[in-house]
Structure 1
Amino acid sequence: MTKLLPTSTAGSLPKPSWLAEPEKLWSPWKLDGDVLAEGRHDALRLSLTDQQQAGIDIVSDGEQTRQHFVTTFIEHLSGVDFEKRETVRIRDRYDASVPTVVGAVTRERPVFVDDARFLRSQTDQPIKWALPGPMTMVDTLYDAHYGSREKLAWEFATILNQEAKELQDAGVDIIQFDEPAFNVFFDEVNDWGVAALEKAIEGLTCETAVHVCYGYGIKANTDWKETLGAEWRQYEEIFPKLQASDIDIVSLESQNSHVPIDLIELIRGKKVMVGAIDVATTDIETPAQVADTLRQALQFVDPENLYPSTNCGMAPLPRSVARGKLAALGAGAALLRAELQA
């Protein structure tokens, strides 16, 4: 990117109510067959238009073609039985019924590549595509085959690398790996989590990002945040390892969070997607509030490395709220950009 302060979203945007039940994660599709395929691409185009009208520079699919940022990818892999379900604790935070790994996991065919080609055909802007990270994939399953979170993560890293290379060939400019599990399992992150992530980006020539946040604005996550105290210092445990990694961009949560802004110093030299939009509230930020958050971050990241973004995905929010927040992000970045270029 040559534009100063290029804006993007961290992940999902709300789906139209005719496609899936609004304001809900894992919402079932309201269409099926060829009509569903067409509807998902229609929703992707609407999402793209919303981003463009808001002044978002690096656009995405808004995750319109998937039900969930992790499980939709896993659904396309062999070795995972979605009928055989077990209850596990997701990120040590809440219980969920999840599918079971019953054999060797493999990727028989591309998962998101056709959708990425479609997005590429709709715009000349830089595009970003999000994939689940290896550790977060492991944490969203019950393993009855490998007997080791690390072994399973390495298998997923190999599969993700295959998918990422084909996404790159389809014209994706930035491939982002979502790793909310990095904010919980610090020993594993440092022992093998970052190494598995580097396996997932091996051989890529496009830019790569890792998104580490405090989660969607759902009750399980907001309740957890209430237990974290006045300062959220989780990033302190993982940023040194990420700073030394081959990942180009680190995406983090900042707006309305209790993350000390100076923790960004620990990833000095990396490009930083600073979350300047709170996804856990329906209150819409003002451009001035967005600009202020970004201005604080500039103490610890050079302007050419600052990428304004959202804290996390916005799938559970009303569409009108998400559009307002996108507009605030675009306008707030423009305010600060004008200051810096004056």
Structure 2
Amino acid sequence: MHSLLPTTTVGSLPKPSWLAQPEVLWSPWKLEGDALVEGKQDALRIAVQEQTRRGIDILSDGEQTRQHFVTTFIEHLDGVDFEQRQTVRIRDRYDASVPTVVGSVSRERPVFVEDAKFLRSITDRRIKWALPGPMTMVDTLSDAHYRSREKLAWEFATILNQEAKELEAAGVDVIQFDEPSFNVFFEEVQDWGVAALERAVEGLSAETVVHICYGYGIKANTDWKATLGSQWRQYEESFPLLQRSSIDIVSLESHHSHVPIDLIELIRGKKVMLGAIDVASETIETPEEVADTLRNALRFVDADKLIPSTNCGMAPFPRNVALAKLSALSAGADLLRDELAGTDREAA
């Protein structure tokens, strides 16, 4: 376990082929009933073992127990009809068939808490759990009840806060909220997005993360990224707001992205979970490439606030690729740790 430059992943890892179809996002389960419960736990065990073996410090569940990073949470809530589907534009990029909010949304029982307890029981390392952020939940639904994205976001924020508090009680050290919508709906981020996120983290003593990415390496996302020009400056909109927020850690893409590294200056004082692994390419980074990406960031974030990570989730990759990238991430962090230790020795 490393106290300096602790490594982690954004979240998802590929599922075993006996649990779900490999290299396909959100593929249906191959098991059912008790066999599915057992299969998910076995997959979670494997995810923990592989992360541990490859030197990852803050472990995630690899999202082995959920099909989709947003809708699996929503499926457990009242007030949403999954039979009544509408086609809506998601993230202003692509059309998707989504469920409809038909009444007041509420959470009758915990969603991920039993899974988190299981994760806690099989490792002594720090653990992180990801939840969808309120704005991204709103953007993944059709709303026939509230007729207001803001009102619905506040309802979801309250529900997420209940879940987060129970995850914390189950032993989760770091709670992450995924908000890819923050890179798209800038006026809403300013008007109510960050405020709703702060409502979701209210009263937590676990560390909190907001993850804002440019998405999995799927065609709709890569096509969108091709329109963004030579510099991706979307973070410029949300970072100043997040710098003033109660969120502890900001997670961003860096390696092989067109995000200017100096934008990290806008979140000075926060911990930075820096993407040093590309999730849009199956090419395995070298440890030196990872160390370079991290080293560049040190001009704008202190080493004791830097958390090396992946750009986004790795669910669509072949398993051997995702696991090799985990090894590269920890090897690159090791290189930089050794460098920093040498510098400290020279300074002494």
TM range (shorter): over 0.9
Q: Please tell me whether the aligned partners of residues 209 and 249 of structure 2 are also in contact (alpha carbons under 8 angstroms).
A: yes
Alignment of 1:43-82 (within 5 A): 43-82=43-82
- Does residue 186 of structure 2 align to residue 173 of structure 1? no
Give the match for residue 152 of structure 2: 152
Q: CA–CA distance in 2 between the matches of 1:90 and 1:267?
A: 27
Give the match for residue 5 of structure 1: 5
Q: How far 1:59 sits from its partner (Å)? A: 0.3
For the residue of structure 1 that corresponds to 2:58, the secondary structure is coil
Give the match for residue 102 of structure 1: 102
Deviations along 1:151-197, whole A, 9 cap, x unmatched?
00000000000000000000000000000000000010011000000
Alignment of 1:1-342 (within 5 A): 3-342=3-342
Q: Please tell me whether the aligned partners of residues 12 and 314 of structure 2 are also in contact (alpha carbons under 8 angstroms).
A: yes
Q: CA–CA distance in 2 between the matches of 1:59 and 1:20?
A: 21
Q: How far 1:93 sits from its partner (Å)? A: 0.4
Q: CA–CA distance in 2 between the matches of 1:136 and 1:341?
A: 40
Deviations along 1:202-256, whole A, 9 cap, x unmatched?
0001100000000011111011100000000000011000000000000000010
Q: CA–CA distance in 1 between the matches of 2:180 and 2:159?
A: 19
Q: CA–CA distance in 1 between the matches of 2:233 and 2:332?
A: 26
Q: What amino acid is aligned across from residue 238 of structure 1 in structure 2?
A: S
Q: CA–CA distance in 1 between the matches of 2:54 and 2:93?
A: 34
Deviations along 1:239-291, whole A, 9 cap, x unmatched?
00000000000000001000000000000000000000000010010000000
Q: CA–CA distance in 1 between the matches of 2:23 and 2:98?
A: 21
Q: Please tell me whether the aligned partners of residues 2 and 57 of structure 2 are also in contact (alpha carbons under 8 angstroms).
A: no
Q: What amino acid is aligned across from residue 331 of structure 1 in structure 2?
A: A
RMSD: 0.7
Q: CA–CA distance in 2 between the matches of 1:36 and 1:145?
A: 34
Q: What amino acid is aligned across from residue 204 of structure 2 in structure 1?
A: L
Unaligned runs of 5+ residues in structure 1 are none
Q: Please tell me whether the aligned partners of residues 51 and 59 of structure 2 are also in contact (alpha carbons under 8 angstroms).
A: yes
- Count of residues paired in the alignment: 342
Deviations along 1:91-146, whole A, 9 cap, x unmatched?
00000000000000000000000000000000000000000000000000000000
Q: CA–CA distance in 2 between the matches of 1:298 and 1:166?
A: 35
For the residue of structure 2 that corresponds to 1:150, the secondary structure is helix
Q: CA–CA distance in 2 between the matches of 1:24 and 1:154?
A: 32
Q: How far 1:25 sits from its partner (Å)? A: 1.2
For the residue of structure 1 that corresponds to 2:51, the secondary structure is helix
Q: TM-score, normalised by structure 2?
A: 0.98
Q: How far 1:2 sits from its partner (Å)? A: 6.8
For the residue of structure 2 that corresponds to 1:56, the secondary structure is coil
Q: What amino acid is aligned across from residue 240 of structure 2 in structure 1?
A: P
Q: CA–CA distance in 2 between the matches of 1:340 and 1:119?
A: 32
Q: CA–CA distance in 2 between the matches of 1:108 and 1:2?
A: 39
Q: CA–CA distance in 2 between the matches of 1:113 and 1:322?
A: 26
Q: How far 1:54 sits from its partner (Å)? A: 1.1
Q: CA–CA distance in 2 between the matches of 1:220 and 1:42?
A: 32
Q: How far 1:21 sits from its partner (Å)? A: 0.5
Unaligned runs of 5+ residues in structure 2 are 343-348
For the residue of structure 2 that corresponds to 1:14, the secondary structure is coil
Q: CA–CA distance in 2 between the matches of 1:154 and 1:241?
A: 18
Q: What amino acid is aligned across from residue 14 of structure 1 in structure 2?
A: P
Give the match for residue 345 of structure 2: none
For the residue of structure 1 that corresponds to 2:126, the secondary structure is coil
Q: What amino acid is aligned across from residue 229 of structure 1 in structure 2?
A: G
Q: CA–CA distance in 1 between the matches of 2:204 and 2:3?
A: 23
Q: CA–CA distance in 2 between the matches of 1:60 and 1:263?
A: 27
Give the match for residue 346 of structure 2: none
4+ aligned runs moved over 2 Å, structure 1: none
For the residue of structure 2 that corresponds to 1:328, the secondary structure is helix
